[in-house]
Amino acid sequence: MTLRTGEQYIESMRNMNLQVYMFGKKVECPADDPILRPSLNSVRMTYDLAQLPEFEDLMTATSHLTGEKINRFTHIHQSAKDLMNKVKMQRLLGQKTAACFQRCVGMDASNAVYSTTYEIDQKYGTHYHENFVNFLKQVQKEDWTVDGAMTDPKGDRGKAPHEQDDPDLFLHVVERRPDGIVVRGAKAHQTGFINSHEVIVMPTIAMREADKEYAVSFHCRTDTEGIFMIVGRQSCDTRKVEGAPMDTGNPEFGGTEALVIFDNVFIPNNQIFLNGEVEFAGMMVERFAGYHRQSYGGCKVGVGDVLIGATALIADYNGCARASHIKDKIIEMQHLNETLYSCGIACSALGTKTESGNYLIDLLLANVCKQNVTRFPYEIVRLAEDIAGGLMVTAPSELDLRDPKLGKYVEKYLKGVGVVSTENRLKVLRLIENLCLGTAAVGYRTESMHGAGSPQAQRIMISRQGNLEMKKELAKELAHVTE
């Protein structure tokens, strides 16, 4: 097997022995749970599109390890074109799901770990890169969905990992054995963990020697003994079980996050990618963050395309599409969205080869991309809400529309333009609500702020990589300043 079908993926997740908890109860079959299933459907789309000839160039690639055709989400970038195709693929999937399709994190983790392990081995003679390559070959062969887990709970942000009152607030090694290590801790805000076969765990910040036990990276199955997940609440999540699919806005697709607990989990030596080499923790973090910030120039743009389309549609349904201020606001939404895309493409086009041979994005422009993503989607959402009108958040339920007594009044008084049914008007309003305020806000608006690092994280990297001293020299030269 090299390319799974969507149905094969779904069945493989049913066969996982995942320990998932939600609302204080264990979820017996996460793959079929009505609240969680839309998030699984989003991942399924990464498999379904890879089967279609018209998307082959974007959704698949040729493995540099085996020469086989593989899903691009399991690929190690071999050129700037690969980096650009990644962004184009993510925009496509955002358009098709209007949600988080979750495999980006593992793809970005794989590319960061691939180059970092190579450089660790070069310095220390370790076998981390060999471990990773062997793992990656299996990932590509089985077309596994891999999650990337970086974010620790962190506790007191003013203290280093080893200084925390509770040492488990950063995931760390608690025991070393001849055949492996035992780790304990948690990873927070884990997008797609419950829909993944494997996870790549990475440190969350740069480390010093005193934090050696926290400088750890490895892979393991998501149903490994000692791992369990607590699903995060999302606004409107229980609408999915109310028997009114229209009220969800996006009935088929969604995203999900979880707090993932590692309760004394054993990791064999051949699954370890970093184990105490503190000076490389920062490199792994920086490269993963760069790749993931690039990703937002694709996925958020695709979801933005859907929101812009829904906003233009509701302007038609409300009868105000010809108003000049409405046209201007939609133009502004498009301008902001395409600016995000241009940043994702730019940091890809300027990608360079690492020592290991894979390609790394331009880190400065990747951080600029994500800095824009912390702002522009909020303005796009504001404009969408402006044009949609208050009915977006005050409309009655689908159950009222279907009710024999109430339905005729909902139909009569919530009508827009005559040729459009009230039902269709409400469906589009619910989609806008979903993207701006509901469950998809985690995958669009709010995640735009905090995903891949909150705004200050990008500003720190822009400061480091902006080469301010070089720019001072340019000014001195033109002004004939001598010192």
CA dist 75 and 83 (Å) reads: 10
Selecting among 236, 299, 369, 436, the annotated active-site residue is 299
Question: Of the residues 47, 292, 374, 444, which is catalytic?
Answer: 292
Angle at CA of residue 186, ends 185 and 188, nearest 5°: 160
Sign of the CA dihedral running 412, 414, 418, 420: negative
Catalytic residue among 119, 257, 277, 286: 257
Reduce the DSSP state of residue 275 to 3 states and report it: strand
252 catalytic per annotation: no
Token representation of residue 396: 């009655």
Q: Which is catalytic among the residues 46, 100, 116, 118?
A: 100
Q: What does the DSSP 8-state code read for residue 77?
A: P
Taking the chain, what is the end-to-end CA distance rounded to the nearest angstrom? 66
Residue 191 among known ligand-binding residues: yes
Annotated catalytic residue 100: yes
CA distance 468 to 447: 30
469 is catalytic: no
Alpha carbon distance 391, 368 (integer Å)? 36
Asked if 385 is an active-site residue, the reply is no
104 is catalytic: yes
d(CA 74, CA 247): 35
* Residues in CB range of 425: below 8 A, 6 or more apart: 314, 317, 318, 414, 415, 416
347 is catalytic: no
Whether 29 is a known active-site residue: answer no
Q: Are strands 25-27 and 20-22 parallel, antiparallel or unpaired?
A: antiparallel
Residues 47, 60, 74, 104: which is the catalytic one?
104
Which of 134, 143, 142, 87 minimizes the C-alpha distance to 113?
Answer: 134
Of 114, 118, 296, 341, which is the active-site residue? Answer: 296
Q: Indicate if 286 belongs to the active site.
A: no
10 Å CB burial of residue 55 (0-12, 13-18, 19+) is: middle
Cβ atoms of residues 289 and 104 within 8 Å: no
CB atoms within 10 A of CB 259: 17
Of the candidates 417, 218, 224, 444, the residue with the CA atom closest to the CA atom of residue 315: 417
Residues 6+ apart with CB under 8 A from 223: 16, 17, 18, 19
Query: Please, what is the angle between helix 376-388 and helix 324-349, to 10°?
Result: 160
Tokens 């999937």 belong to: 93
CB crowding 456-476: b at 16 or more within 10 Å, else e = ebbeebbeebeeeeeeeeeee
Q: Which residues are annotated as a binding site?
A: 191
Enumerate the active-site residues: 100, 104, 191, 257, 292, 296, 299, 447
* Residue positions forming the annotated binding site for FAD: 191
